[in-house]
């Protein structure tokens, strides 16, 4: 979700002795988004990070961890409900495969009062990364944490069909993700094996 991440990922890929394919999926909307910029120092130093924690967040107040991938992160941090909201932390999963188990568990362990983890995506439930991530998260998350999905219900098509309907549904997803006072709903329903 940042130019520095792309740079370090491509550099890492070029340095691998055994060549293998690399698939990167990115929306065009991040190309000119000012929040999705990196300083030159971030390009010169550092490395690719499979999971990016939210910077400068009060770890001891967080009760909900929102995991997401891609541009919805910028919708979450830009929403009015995000301002001053210390009960919700946002973690960006930058690498889906191989599953970054150690990094996710490290992120979860950083929040001592954590009660729930949610996978948030703007794609419908039967599309996007949820189908890959949810079973893996359920396997590795501590049993005392509640896990849920926040996003669109299952659909045959990925789009709403109308820009206004899309904006309303997007606002619902982001607002629900950032509202730690409400327990994670299993909207639209739980799948077998999900808690």
Which DSSP letter does residue 187 get?
-
Quick count: other Cβ atoms within 10 Å of Cβ 122? 20
Mean pLDDT of 17-44: 88
**Residue 124: phi, psi to the nearest 5?**
-60, 160
Whole-number Å distance between alpha carbons of 117 and 194: 12
Q: Is 188 helix (H, G, I), strand (E, B) or coil?
A: coil
What pLDDT, on the 0 to 100 scale, is given for residue 188?
44
Residue ranges of domains in the chain: 1-48, 50-195
Q: Which two tokens stand for residue 96?
A: 């889906």
Mean pLDDT score, 46-63: 92
Half-sphere exposure of 135 (CA within 13 A, CB side): 5
- For 7-64, give the secondary structure using H, E and C: HHHHHHHHHCCCCCCCCCCCCHHHCCCHHHCCCHHHHHCCCCCCEECCCCCCHHHCCE
Mean pLDDT of 90-112: 97
Q: For residue 138, what pLDDT band results from cuts at 50, 70 and 90?
A: very high
pLDDT at 189 over 50: no
Mean pLDDT of 112-117: 97
pTM for this one? Answer: 0.90
Of the listed ranges 45-49, 85-89, 130-134, 159-163, the least confidently predicted one is 159-163
Assess if CATH 3.40.50.11610 describes domain 50-195: yes
Q: How much is the average pLDDT of 64-79? A: 96
């Amino acid at each position: 979700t940042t130019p520095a991440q792309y740079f370090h990922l491509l550099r890492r890929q070029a340095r691998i002795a055994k060549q293998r394919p690399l698939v990167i999926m990115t929306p065009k909307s991040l190309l000119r988004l000012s929040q999705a910029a990196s300083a030159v120092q971030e390009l010169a130093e550092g490395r690719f990070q499979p999971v990016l924690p939210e910077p400068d967040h009060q770890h001891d107040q967080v009760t909900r961890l929102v995991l997401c991938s891609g541009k919805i992160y910028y919708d979450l941090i830009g929403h009015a409900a995000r301002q001053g909201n210390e009960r919700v932390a946002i973690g960006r999963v930058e690498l889906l495969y191989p599953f970054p188990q150690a990094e996710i568990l490290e992120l979860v362990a950083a929040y001592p009062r954590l009660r729930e983890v949610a996978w948030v995506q703007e794609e419908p439930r039967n599309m996007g990364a949820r189908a890959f991530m949810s079973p893996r998260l359920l396997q590795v998350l501590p049993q005392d944490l509640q896990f849920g999905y926040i996003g669109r219900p299952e659909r045959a098509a990925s789009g709403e069909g109308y820009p206004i309907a899309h904006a309303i549904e997007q606002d619902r997803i982001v607002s629900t993700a950032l509202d730690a006072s409400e327990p994670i709903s299993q909207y639209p329903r739980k799948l077998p094996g999900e808690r």
